[in-house]
Structure 1
Amino acid sequence: MDSLDDLFSRLRVATSPTEIEALQDGIWQLWLTTNHPLLDKHLEAGMRALSAEEYTVAIAEFTELTTASPEYAEGWNKRATAYYLRGEFNAALRDVRETLRLEPRHFGALSGWAAILRTIGDNRGALLVLQRLEKLCPGWPGLQNQLRSLRDALEE
């Protein structure tokens, strides 16, 4: 299996959407590996709740996960997602910051952070976050259009 560093170095130069998706999938597989049965249980239960739009349950499961394993970045990222979907942007942003402190290359957290900033009208902040994402994967599908759209909005 490829290491996280290897997958990220390949992602940085990937240009085809199929290759980018395959590399992202490989990274997600590593991120979603807790190597602990109890943590797996909370992660899976939280993800099921998230899919069922049961955000309170998801937040509770991901909180169990982050409490039991505070160094596990994906627990924070998943909880940020649940908070975001529930409209709790400040809580989501706190968890995004923690995710990125633990894994600065977390493209899911960066993408989510940019979405939150756009939602609350901070286009300049969203542009800065997407520029960080661009350093990880310039060929990310749709990224260049998002960057152009934000730059245009800021020039108006």
Structure 2
Amino acid sequence: MKNIALSFFLSCASSIGYAQCPASPDHSERLSALIEAVQSAPDQVSAQLISNDMWDLWDNAPNETAQRMLDDGLARRAGYDLDGAMKAFEQLIEYCPDYAEGYNQRAFVRFIRKEYEPALADLERTIELSPNHIAAIAGKALTLIGLQRNEEAQVVLREALALNPWLKERQFLTEQAPTPKTDL
């Protein structure tokens, strides 16, 4: 019943237009502190707890309306309702075009569907809005792998790992190509 009511609200609200979405919360200082903490985390478990705190920041929508849209999309994706999740994230992006997580979550749905090019565009927008969004950077690396752009993926993956060396995506890291030697 809750999802039906939310869907009705969202469809009515989209037809009459939303009030303007407020600016996204500025969590940059807290995120910087968490990045420093994860870089010095002693083990995977500690790093995961810090990563969870990062997700709390990224998932903090600009207002209650945006939060409901995000939560609806996340619940739908978790329930494998990818069409419903996509619709919720598209409404969130329409309502809050400067909220990075809307793009990141839509990218994830597109990635699951193997729609790599549009996922990449969403991830690039996420990173533009939130340059230290480690999950989006890691997602971009995985998307580039899906596009078979492996060299570029390795560069991006290394960027993500420089921010959080404990990412599970580190399993996709390949040996760095040796630097060519020059004779002087």
TM-score normalised per structure 1: 0.87
Superposed CA deviations along residues 76-130 of structure 1, whole A, max 9, x for unmatched, are 1001001111221111011000000011111211221111211221110110111
Q: Does 1:25 align with 2:52?
A: yes
User: Is contact 1:8-1:136 (8 Å) kept?
Assistant: yes
Q: 1: CA distance between counterparts of 2:84 and 2:103?
A: 15
SS of residue in 1 equivalent to 2:67: helix
Note closer, same or farther for the CA distance 1:84–1:140 as it changes in structure 2 (3 Å cut): closer
TM-score normalised per structure 2: 0.74
Unaligned residue ranges in structure 2 (runs of 5+):
1-28, 178-184
- Aligned Cα RMSD in Å? 1.8
Partner in structure 1 of residue 65 of structure 2: 38
Equivalent AA in structure 2 for residue 104 of structure 1: P
Unaligned residue ranges in structure 1 (runs of 5+):
none
SS of residue in 2 equivalent to 1:5: helix
Q: Does 1:83 align with 2:102?
A: no
Q: 2: CA distance between counterparts of 1:111 and 1:82?
A: 15
User: Is contact 1:46-1:61 (8 Å) kept?
Assistant: yes
Q: Which has the higher contact order (CA 8 A, sep 6+)?
A: 1
Note closer, same or farther for the CA distance 1:58–1:68 as it changes in structure 2 (3 Å cut): same
Larger radius of gyration between Structure 1 and Structure 2:
2
Percentage of pairs with the same residue: 26
Q: Does 1:105 align with 2:141?
A: no
Report the structure, 1 or 2, having the larger helix content.
Answer: 1
Q: How many residue pairs align between the two structures?
A: 149
